[in-house]
């Protein structure tokens, strides 16, 4: 049974930082690219960033480039998202996903964790 669990969401002031984690089980973590998506209130889900299975290449949405860093540790089946200089428009439910880096097709999804950026 594939299971994902996201940690690290919460409330932060603009300019602050948060680090999200996504622990997984039930499939071969190191065989899949991993990604973060987010869904702002009242909007569609959107791509945030992705990392190859080996961790040697990353891809980011323009809106987060230079502020967010995605990484992974295949030894502990965990994906991370370091978010710096957070803005109110980063407020969303953040989801981790496993799938395919170049096609951006993702097969497995977490339940999501809320991030709120507000003064």
**CB-based contacts of 28, cutoff 8 Å, min separation 6:** none
pLDDT at 3 over 90: no
The string of pLDDT tens digits covering residues 92-114 is 999 999 999 999 899 999 999 99
Q: What backbone torsions phi and psi does residue 103 show, to the nearest 5 degrees?
A: -90, -15
**What integer is the mean pLDDT of 63-89?**
97
- Percentage with pLDDT > 70 across the chain: 100
């Amino acid at each position: 049974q594939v299971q994902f669990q996201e940690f690290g969401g919460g409330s932060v002031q603009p300019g602050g930082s948060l680090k999200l984690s996504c622990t997984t089980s039930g499939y071969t973590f190191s065989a899949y690219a991993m990604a973060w998506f987010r869904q702002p209130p009242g909007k569609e889900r959107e791509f945030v960033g992705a990392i190859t299975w080996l961790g040697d290449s990353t891809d980011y949405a323009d809106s987060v480039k230079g502020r967010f860093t995605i990484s992974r540790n295949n030894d502990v089946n965990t994906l991370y998202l370091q978010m710096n200089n957070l803005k109110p428009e980063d407020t969303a439910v953040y989801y981790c996903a496993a799938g395919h880096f170049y096609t951006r097709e993702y097969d497995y999804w977490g339940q999501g964790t809320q991030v709120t950026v507000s003064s």
